[in-house]
Every structure is written in C-alpha cells, then in structure tokens.
Amino acid sequence: MLGHVFINICILISFLYFAGIVLRNPRKSPIPMNVLIGSFSGVLGLALMYFAIPLDHNSIVDLRHVAIVTTAVYVGWIPALLSASIITVGRTIMFGVTQESTVAAIGMLVIGIICSVLSFLPYRRLVKMQIMNLASLMIIFILLQINIGFLNALQIIPYHTITSILVGFIAYFIAEQIKRSNEHYHQLEQSATKDFLTSLNNVRQFDVSYNQALKHAQERREKLSLLLIDIDHFKNVNDTFGHQAGDEVLKGLGKVLTHHSRSFDIVSRNGGEEFSILLIDCPHSHGMVIAERLREAVERHSFRISEEQSIHITISVGVSTFPDTVSPAGEEIFEQADKALYLAKRTGRNKVCDFNMVQAVT
C-alpha cells in the first residue's frame, strides 16, 4: 500500500510541476488558461484513478478528487468544473457504463460543483483546501454506501480519509512552493524589463522594442517616429527639493507621457531624467504635433513633490522619423533624435526640435 501511495504522490508532484510551468507564462499559450489547466487537472485525476491504491482484492482508494480540490483552490471554479467533467467522462470510457460507474460519475460532478462554490470562501488556501478535502470525503462516503453498503464503506473510509488528508497537505506545500517560485520569476522578469521607479520600460526593454518596431516598420513600409525627452534643469530639482522630490517628478512625468500617448505607443525611461516614446505608424509631421502637445501638457502639469508642495517643470524633445528623416536602413533614427534633443537644450530648452533643424544650423 505504501508503495502505491508513493506512486500517487510522485504523479501528483509531476503534474503540479508541469502545471506550474504552464502558469508561469500564460501569455505564451494559444489555449485559454482555464481550459488548459482544467484539462491538465482532469488528466491528473484520471492518472490518480488509474493508479489507485489497493486495500485488498475488492477495495481500492483513489485520489482523483485531490486534482479537483487543488485546481479549485489555486486556479478557480471554471477549471475545477472542467476537471470534474473530464474525470467523469474518462472514468466512463475506461471502465464502461455500470450502476457503480454512473454513481461515481455523478459523485465527481457533485464534488466539482461543491469545490467550485467553496473556492469563493475568504479563507487561507490551506484552510480552504482542507475544507474542500473533507467535503469531498463526505461525498465519497455516500458514494461508497450506495455502491458497496454502509458497513463496507465504514471500513474503507478511514483509509480514504488518512490518505486524502496526507496527500492534500503534500499537494498544498508543493503548490505553494511552485506559486512562490512563479511569483519570484515574474518579479525578476519585470525587473529585467521595467523601470523600478516609473514602471515604464527600462532602457534594456527600450532597445528590444526599438529594434522590433523599426523592423516592423521596414517590413510593412510604415512610419516610425522616435521622441527623446529630457527634463530641463532636473539637477536643480534634486538639489533644491531633494532626491525624493526628484523621484516624484520622474514618476509623475511617466504618468503624463503615458496619458498623452496612444495606447499602442511605447513609453520608456531610458535612464536618469531621459525618457523616450516610440510612435508606431506615425509620420514626421504628426510626430512633431504629438511632441509639442506633450511639451505643453508637461508645462501645464503641476507635479506634487509632497503633501504641501507642487512644482512645475519643462521638457526638451528631439524628434526623428523613419523613413522621413533617415535612410532606408533606419539606423540613424536614434542618433538623429539625440542630436535634435541636444539642439533643443542648447537653444533655450522647453522646446521641440527635429533633425531638419539640426541640419539647418550646421
């Protein structure tokens, strides 16, 4: 018996591990996550049923309900119901249609419904999991009474209870470890692509987005405008009001730039007080209009640096556009925007310049 319990635990851990991998990158899956996890859980339930734990020649203990319970607690009611449905259909296919299989099938659906309802309880996951486990055991006890009689059910249910609670605790601890691991993974993934202060793309992600957007524009013969933005006299803000106030200004500017950009434009903080916006499918003339609109919005905006105090800042903007101001290769777009930004800062700040203006003064 212990050997079969060990096999069931190994099956459970293996399925939880692979489910954790799927949940780690839900956006990469072409299948809706509820359907994928529900199907995965259903297959786990069938595997636990197939490798049931024998007690004697006529009695077995299977842990298929643990798959439904774990899914309901960690993913939700939809995949839990799908899991119960797959287990029900699978059992009928594997063992045929009999009175016992019909009773067991109905019982699994009832367990799925109960676990789905209990998944909304506002309790900790461990408590919720054990409540579902005990509720499932009550249903299983009723099913056993119907199929094999009260006395036989009374002899088997203690083994069911002990094994289910033991495996339930193991499922909880493994699932918690996987959940924490996935959370740490997402934190690392976000820190690798997002600026910690503004939650905008960081310079590493800007480089990736910039190259992808340029390639996309070249392939589809679209326009791509780049705005490089720098806060005027930002050092004075830090020196006068402190670095915490400077951080509030940076966060506020990120929100202003995002609010006044289109939903599909790419706003990044490239480092320090420098920001950038990739304007997708945007001709040069429109890019200049957007840049001026952003400059005016920032100039009007009141940046709160403390509960009692707000300040105003200005920005300088450099604009370049593929293919309007650059060669077909598009390699100069960043360099041109940078030179235009430098011109804006050198000739008075709080203004928008493009590469045409740079050429006019050289």
- Does domain 203-361 fall under CATH 3.40.718.10? My reply is no
Residue 20, amino acid? G
Q: Which fold is adopted by the domain 2-193?
A: Arp2/3 complex 21 kDa subunit ARPC3 (1.10.1760)
Is pLDDT above 90 for 124?
A: yes
Q: Is pLDDT of 176 > 80?
A: yes
Distance between CA atoms of residues 20 and 17, nearest Å: 5
Whether residue 70 contacts residue 171, with contact meaning beta carbons closer than 8 Å, is answered with yes
Spell out the residues 6+ positions from residue 5 whose beta carbon is closer than 8 angstroms to its own. Answer: 53, 163, 166, 167
Q: Start-end ranges of CATH 3.30.70.270 in the chain? A: 203-361
User: Distance between CA 356 and CA 348 in Å, rounded?
Assistant: 17
Q: What is the pLDDT of residues 67-98, one digit of tens each?
A: 999 999 999 999 999 999 999 998 888 877 88
Query: 8-60, pLDDT tens digit by residue?
Result: 889 989 998 888 887 877 665 556 888 888 998 999 999 998 888 887 766 77
pTM: 0.65
Could you read off the pLDDT of 196-235 as tens digits, one per residue? 899 999 999 999 999 999 999 999 989 999 999 999 999 9
Rg, C-alpha atoms of the chain: 30
Burial of 145: CB neighbours in 10 Å, binned 0-12, 13-18, 19+: middle
Please give the residue that has the higher pLDDT: either 303 or 4: 303
